[in-house]
Structure 1
Amino acid sequence: MRKFIVAVLSASCIVILYFTVSTLVQVFAFDLSTPAVAEEQQKGYRLVLITLEQDTPFWEKVELGAASAAKQNGASLEVWGTYGANRDDFLKNIEIAIASKVDGIIVQGLDTDEFKNLTKIRAASNGIPIITVANDVPMNESLRRTYVGSDHLKAGEMIARQLVSDMGFSGEVVLMVSDRQEFFQRSRLTGILNVLGQYRNIETKIVASGDSRENVAEATNQVLNDAPGAQAFIAVAANHARSIIQEIGKRRQVSNLFIYSFDDSPETLTLLQEGKLDALIMQAPERMGEESVSLMVKWLRGELVPLNPDGYFTEMRVMRAEEAS
């Protein structure tokens, strides 16, 4: 009897070991970079575009381009956004999209631990691909498939070259940044410093200006006290440009300074037309929306695997005040 029990237990162990090893082989043999494509599901994917700033003209253009590409590819697209840049609601929308088991998520990158945990752990473990659009997050920190948008490092270099062309090879330049810099802002700043650092007679001063209009105005007023001889300002965060210019205008002639920013929003375009900004970087938000959806569908269909981890950069150009007036 004892021999019989031992034999049964041994056989059971062998069977369990077989299935365990078999399962492990299947798991490790599975290429995580390749989508599982069912023959019957060549179209009709459910995609979600999630933004933090839905009520801005920039993101309205991204949505327009994404909707057009979704229609062309036979995919359904839902746009979920927040108003007033509510980060909690933004992150909750990502959670809901993952729980809903959508086929793909296209999302404005947010450089926070909460965002990275959602994309790197929750979305990846559910097999849902993520593409960041307009604002990126490093791939190794987020496991996003790719990024579609401007090359912000290059954008910083472009605006810095324009500044040097206008101001010359010497002077003091103030770089106004947010207290909490997103990855795209850090990239812009690096690009600016890469160029300005080549000129030993150009001095740069980096000023953290907060995020509210009041904080930006206060920081600008302080830097005017600390650096009265500054000849140029760059608003690295475009939504700070008006507050910076308004505060400068209370104490100095804005026209006597060189002032630059990014993003062709209605507000910054108005400042450019008024001659209060010397130049800004024009982006292509509609193209960002189109390409992000197109790439997502191609990946889901297995037509483009893997996607370029470095991203797909859309067009940019420097627009000067003379062109806008």
Structure 2
Amino acid sequence: MSNRKWNLGILLLFILFACLLLSFLLSALRIRELVQPLKSGGVVIDTRHVVLISQELDNPFWRAVEQGAKEAAAAYGMTLEYMGPFRINPAEQIKLLEKSIAAKADAVLIQGINDPYYRTLIDKAMNQGIPVITVDTDEPGSRRLSYVGTDNLEAGKKMGELVVQAAGGQGSIGVLLGKAEADNQRMRLEGFRSVISRYPELAIVDVRSSNISRLQAAGQTEEMLLSHPQIRYLVGFSALDGPGMMEAVERVIPQGVSIFAFDDLEETKEGIRQCRIVSTIVQQPHEMGYHAVSMLNDYFQGNNLQRQHYTAIAVLDRNTAGNGAGGSCR
């Protein structure tokens, strides 16, 4: 009988000890939860989730935008999620914006696509407290917070000045646009026309769309040169136009056509070094991404933003293309 009492006593002591140990562990965890915010200055850090929706996932231009945005996000304690269609697909961009709004992202960076429904989605996001900034291409008429990118009207004017300088104020010009309906392409052409129109003997004889495709850029250029053999100056306003135009010129009229390109793909720079392209206008996609996230940080701090934030452009020609490419082309 005494042994049973002894065993029961030991069992009760063990249960009591286990309860005390469990209580101690729970208290320690609770104290850790209370102390952790104090290590961050007494404030619980709320990491903001920013979504960047690109035009095309692995496009070098948009990868540069992503890199700039990531660097700024790291500097300001935000997380950046990069997404986009594998191939250019505005319908997919719309779906990704819908999903970002449904997921309650803290902010969204997007390319404008000049679509009425897209504008309603931007307005919906803004109404729900999700700030939207357009990058590279604006979405006029929407309630987007700001636009960050090239001043496309001025870029077009700069292209006009380059052609005027090369042409001496006279000659025939063929123009390629990436997408005729895109706002950035339309504004580049508008700026270009405003300069060319000052010279009565300098004429734009054809304007076509490459649909942001090197293959189509080559095909459309070839058709332009065959339809208008008097063309001596070719101008492309999207990144793949320069390489496409080089390919077509090589097939149709290897000598006597001056090419002016846009952006700084490696093939375009090589074309400049080989005197196959006169010059190209270079944008700053890395700066676009960085400044867009920096502006979001300003907005979250309660500061007002300017409606447009223009990033710089530069002209790359044989004197600035590197690899010892200086000197004139003859």
* TM tier relative to shorter chain: 0.7 to 0.9
In 2, Cα distance between equivalents of 1:314 and 1:111: 21
Q: Flag the structure with larger Rg.
A: 2
In 2, Cα distance between equivalents of 1:154 and 1:261: 15
In 2, Cα distance between equivalents of 1:239 and 1:217: 9
1:308 to 303, 306, 309: 306
Structure 1 SS opposite 2:271: helix
1:123 to 101, 122, 125: 125
Aligned pairs for 1:286-301 (under 5 A) are 286-301=286-301
Going from structure 1 to structure 2, the CA distance change for 1:238 and 1:57 (only over 3 Å counts) comes to closer
Structure 1 SS opposite 2:319: helix
What residue in structure 2 maps to residue 76 of structure 1?
Answer: 79
In 1, Cα distance between equivalents of 2:83 and 2:217: 29
Structure 2 SS opposite 1:64: helix
Structure 2 SS opposite 1:231: strand
Q: Percent identity?
A: 30
Going from structure 1 to structure 2, the CA distance change for 1:148 and 1:116 (only over 3 Å counts) comes to same
What residue in structure 2 maps to residue 231 of structure 1?
Answer: 232
Q: What is the identity, as a one-letter code, of the residue corresponding to 1:207?
A: V
Aligned residues: 280
**Do residues 250 (structure 1) and 251 (structure 2) align?**
yes
Q: What is the identity, as a one-letter code, of the residue corresponding to 1:244?
A: M
In 2, Cα distance between equivalents of 1:92 and 1:41: 33
Consecutive unaligned residues of structure 1, counting only runs of 5 or more, are: 1-39
Aligned pairs for 1:21-60 (under 5 A) are 44-60=47-63
- Superposition RMSD on alpha carbons, in Å? 2.0
8 Å CA contact 2:209, 2:220 repeated in 1: yes
Q: What is the identity, as a one-letter code, of the residue corresponding to 1:233?
A: L
Q: What is the identity, as a one-letter code, of the residue corresponding to 1:206?
A: D
Q: What is the identity, as a one-letter code, of the residue corresponding to 1:103?
A: D
What residue in structure 2 maps to residue 318 of structure 1?
Answer: 315
Aligned pairs for 1:1-325 (under 5 A) are 44-120=47-123, 122-138=124-140, 141-178=141-178, 180-211=180-211, 212-254=213-255, 256-302=256-302, 304-305=303-304, 307-309=305-307, 311-324=308-321, 325=325
8 Å CA contact 1:53, 1:83 repeated in 2: yes
TM normalised by structure 1 equals 0.81
8 Å CA contact 2:55, 2:62 repeated in 1: no
> RCO greater where, 1 or 2, for CA within 8 Å and sep 6 or more?
1
Consecutive unaligned residues of structure 2, counting only runs of 5 or more, are: 1-42, 326-330
Structure 1 SS opposite 2:51: strand
